[in-house]
Amino acid sequence: MEIPEIYDGTIVVKNAVREAGDRAKVAVASTDRDVDPVGACVGMKGSRINSIIRELKGEKIDIVEWSGDSATFAANALSPAKISKVLVVDSVGKRMEVIVEEKQQSLAIGKKGQNVRLASKLISWQIDVKSEEQKKQEVLSVIESLTSSSTSLSELEGISDRLIERLREAGIENVERILELGEDALKEIQGIGDKTAAKIMEAPGSL
Residues 6 or more apart from 91 whose CB is under 8 A from it? Answer: none
- The per-residue pLDDT for 148 is 59
- Residues whose CB falls within 8 Å of the CB of residue 152, separated by 6 or more in sequence, listed in order: 174, 175
172 located within any domain: yes
Based on the structure, what is the number of domains in the chain? 3
Separation CA 196–CA 41 (nearest Å): 75
Among the three residues 66, 90, 123, which one is the final residue of a domain in this structure? Answer: 66
Phi and psi for 71 in degrees, rounded to 5? -65, -45
CATH of the domain at 175: 1.10.150
> Among candidates 109, 54, 102, 57, which has minimal Cα distance to 80?
109
pLDDT tens digits, one per residue of 57-115: 999 999 999 999 999 999 999 999 999 999 999 999 999 999 999 999 999 999 999 99
Whole-angstrom Cα distance, residue 69 to residue 57? Answer: 34
Question: Which segments of the chain have a pLDDT < 70?
Answer: 145-150, 204-207
Instruction: Indicate whether 4 belongs to any domain.
Output: yes
Domain region containing 26: 1-66
d(CA 172, CA 180): 10
Q: How far is CA 122 from the centre of its chain?
A: 18
pLDDT recorded at residue 204: 59
Asked if residue 148 is part of any domain, the answer here is no
Provide the pLDDT for residue 59: 96
pTM metric for this prediction: 0.68
